[in-house]
Structure 1
Amino acid sequence: MIPPRVPAAVRRRPAAAVLAVTVTCLLAVAAVAAALLGATAMGHGTGELRIPGAGTATVLRTVLFGALAVHAGALAADALLPSVPDRPRTAPRSWATAASVAGALAAAGQIVRLARISDLGLVETYGTREGGLLLLTANGFVLAACCAASRRPALAALPLAVVIGAEALRAHPEAYSPLVGAVLTVVHLTAASLWTGGLLHVLRTMRVWRAEPGAGRVLLGRYARLAAWLYVALAVTGTCSALRRLPADVVLTSAYGRTLLAKLVLVAVVSALALAARRRLARDADPAGAHRSARGEAAALGAVVLVSAVLTVVPDPHWIGTR
């Protein structure tokens, strides 16, 4: 008996799935390696002080920023849904609770790291400025996770705002205008989280709505208009922060300057991909092309998150220009 012939499309599906899993694993390994070695590589030859446990701090901060983006972005994307006419009732499974739990664990991990490098107990660590702010961050994420699991998930916006405020204060212990730096970071981190996490949630929703491409196209268009304003906020606050914190004469000779240049290159890539997605969205009735470009934009934004984490770990370059 001759066995039935399996269609070529069916035969290709397992191979495509294996390839996707393989590529994802390789990218994950590359991301972890970049996080562990990024701060050290950027500081090579600069003469700056070595940051204890820089690789561990970068990994933890990448998880924290990613968790914030996933949860805050989901809230922003869900707020756009009522403006989509005749939208399907289906929705992607929420990642908000898991993301905030991961953020809380990342903040707790930073507290343990701080206690270890400072040779302090946990109670004493909580009494330090950085330890207290990290504890506030962890508690904010816990509250956000509880809100996400409740019947009113939108309430998570308040504890997430606390997380952003605590992170902004933690990132600016310097003596020169720390309040200005904290305000800039609040706006910058909020806009970055909404842009990155919002796009991820919109793409997941479009995948669930693939039987109704018209609704997905409208949702992506609504997000694109929001993202344009977020982009402006990021550009303005990022420029102000760079001019404030980075002396012009150490752009290439400090870890901060080198990391910032790498981030700018990635942002340029993200900008090109975002522009391509918007053009395809305006030109084509079928959102498939815009969806592909937006997926590339989301992947590049993930790399920006990682480099941003490195940027928060490398030494403040201001002392180089003033020593």
Structure 2
Amino acid sequence: MSQTDSPLLPAVEAFLRFLRVERQLSPLTQSSYHHQLQALIAMADDIKLTDWAQLDAAKVRMLTARSKRAGLGASSLALRLSALRSFLDWQVHQGVLQANPAKGISTPRAPRHLPKNIDVDEVGQLLNIDLNDPLAVRDRAMLEVMYGAGLRLSELVGINLGHVDLPSGEIWVMGKGSKERKLPIGRTAVTWLENWLALRDLFGPEDDAMFLSNQGRRISTRNVQKRFAEWGVKQGVNSHIHPHKLRHSFATHVLESSGDLRAVQELLGHANLSTTQIYTHLDFQHLASVYDAAHPRAKRGKT
């Protein structure tokens, strides 16, 4: 049976409409849910699943095992199971199911990778841009704001003109879960925002987005990623430059200088302190390397 003929499909389509209309999730998130649930429908015949009401914990484990055999890693398995849980929770809320059979089903824990950052000298090298055209000024302003406030990529492209108070050096952003926060951005970022605003009208803006593409529309996340990577190459920075690397660098540098984990949590907009604590491991790596090089009892190869 093809996926388009599957009796499981109408409920999934209704759920995706709910995500789009009621939850108003981003297109990227909607696409992720769609992909994961379609993949599960594709495996339904193998476990003789023709109705979501037939799904129990044993069948959820079978779907998880088949996904793993298909080559999914721990993080991809967790994403698929999360999509299924959300869909089944919605089914329970709709009164179609009495309970969610995917709750309590765990996937292998993904290895925790430490975020990569660039050091302060490399940040200076990256930001020393030859400002020979308005787009270069715009990119310098975006880089300065991203590093100056530790923003997420979605937060950066979502900034409107009214979200910035230049005299006070503050910026308002909408973070994950529609949580608002006001952040300081620093004098350098303010200066480059002023430089960009002096040129912004050259693009014939159609809306109140702070950062525009050369067509005069709000710049896309993909365009920002592309431009940041290109500047990393042009400026001769050794590592690949992407928006999250600047956010990680902001967090690491502020923590190294202040030691105030709680303040870094607030600046990054993390709901849980445990998410921010990963940066303490980065800081410890630096301290450990200094210790190994400096402490008489730690130096290698000496008696």
For the criterion TM > 0.5, the same-fold answer is: no
Measured against the shorter chain, the TM-score band is: under 0.3
TM-score, length-normalised on structure 2? Answer: 0.23
Please give the TM-score of this superposition, normalised by the length of structure 1: 0.22
- Structure having the larger proportion of residues in helix: 1
- Structure with larger RCO (C-alpha < 8 A, sep 6+): 1
